[in-house]
A and B are shown apart, each in its own frame.
Chain A
Amino acid sequence: MKQDLSNADVGAVHEGVHHPISLYLKVWGYLFLLSTLSYLVDYMHVQGIVRWTLIVLFMLLKAGLILSIFMHLAWERLSLIYAILTPPLVLLVLVRIMTIEANYAFWTRAIFMGGGG
């Protein structure tokens, strides 16, 4: 009985996920395009803030496509989406802390260790 119930549930969830194959081919194409673009950023020797902005932009677009379409997150319940997407935000705190730490370590090495590693 329990088995039947869970199967019925699965069926209900999957009902809305009958997407045509062309959707996946399209996303595949976009991912190829975005990868090529980010490769071109390096190939064209784009430097400085433009380089970093473009790299992060293409990275986020690719990640968004994979998460939402390939991993079907766009069609999940909002509770699951939030449970998955909000916790990683605290990583920004870690990154901030480690930026300060790295800065401190760098200047300590540069000033007190004669620039040696």
Chain B
Amino acid sequence: MLQTTQDRRDREVITPALREIAADWSADQEVFRHTHWGKAMMWIFLLSDTFIFSCFLTGYMTMRASAVLPWPNTAEVFALNIGGQDIPLVLIAIMTFALISSSGTMAMAVNFGYRRDRRRTAGLMLLTALFGLTFLSMQAFEWSKLIFEEGVRPWYNPMGAPQFGASFFMITGFHGLHVTCGVILLLIIASKVARGDYDRTGDYSAVEIAGLYWHFVDLVWVFIFAFFYLW
């Protein structure tokens, strides 16, 4: 009997990683004890936020698929006239690049945070916030163009399906709100970094946690860009 159990165990191919999972979850309510509590909490918040944004995007899918009036061509709606020529979707492309750049600077800020480089961390976070503000101002421009020039409302759209207005303002509005909160968070944490708060406690985790939130905002934009603007 003992012999067969031993044999079976030998034949089992259990990777160390799976063993680690089993060990973590068998530790009852302390599954994430190896992770900084703030980081685990941020991840759980981001998971819930994933569901909120997914509900919006699924709602958009449902409305668009069931609309009988034509859906506006986003490439034309979000075109900009540059040098007497309409370039499709150019504003959205620039916004995308601004947000990606902000994610890049944030990732580097987190890295310098690990190295306890106070000055560079604060500087890069400030740069990230500036990219965020650039994104927000372009979004404000986009919104005012759509509201005042095209006459789009959450309940009405002169170019076709009224559901376009509803989903556009809801999805980009909620995302913009996230960016706004992110900029405020970044500025607060950056000022704390610059002041040397984290050098005193010796714990730069706040930078990484703020970074997680900021990257998530960029991540959501990837999906909005693909499904709302490009589809």
Chain A residues within CB distance 8 Å of chain B: 6-7, 9-10, 13-14, 17-19, 21, 24-25, 27-28, 31-32, 35, 38-39, 41-43, 52, 55-56, 58-59, 62-63, 66-67, 69-72, 76-80, 82-84, 87-88, 91, 94-95, 98-99, 101-103, 105-106, 109-110, 113, 115-117
Q: Please tell me if the beta carbons of B20 and A78 are within 8 angstroms of each other in the complex.
A: yes
The DSSP consensus for interface residues of chain A is helix
A116 to B223, CA, bound (A): 30
Closest Cβ of chain B to A57, distance in Å, is: 10
| Contact residues in A for B69 (Cβ distance below 8 Å) | 117
* Set of chain B residues within 8 Å of A116, measured between Cβ atoms: 68
For chain B, the count of residues having a C-beta within 8 Å of the partner chain is 69
Is A21 a contact of B108 with CB atoms below 8 Å? Answer: yes
Interface residues of B in 50-101 (CB under 8 A from A): 50-51, 54-55, 58-59, 61-69, 75, 88-89, 93, 96-97, 100-101
Please tell me if the beta carbons of B40 and A6 are within 8 angstroms of each other in the complex: no
Cα distance A103–B212 in the bound complex, in angstroms: 37
Q: Are A67 and B111 in contact (CB under 8 A)?
A: no
In angstroms, Cα B58 to Cα A5, docked, is: 44
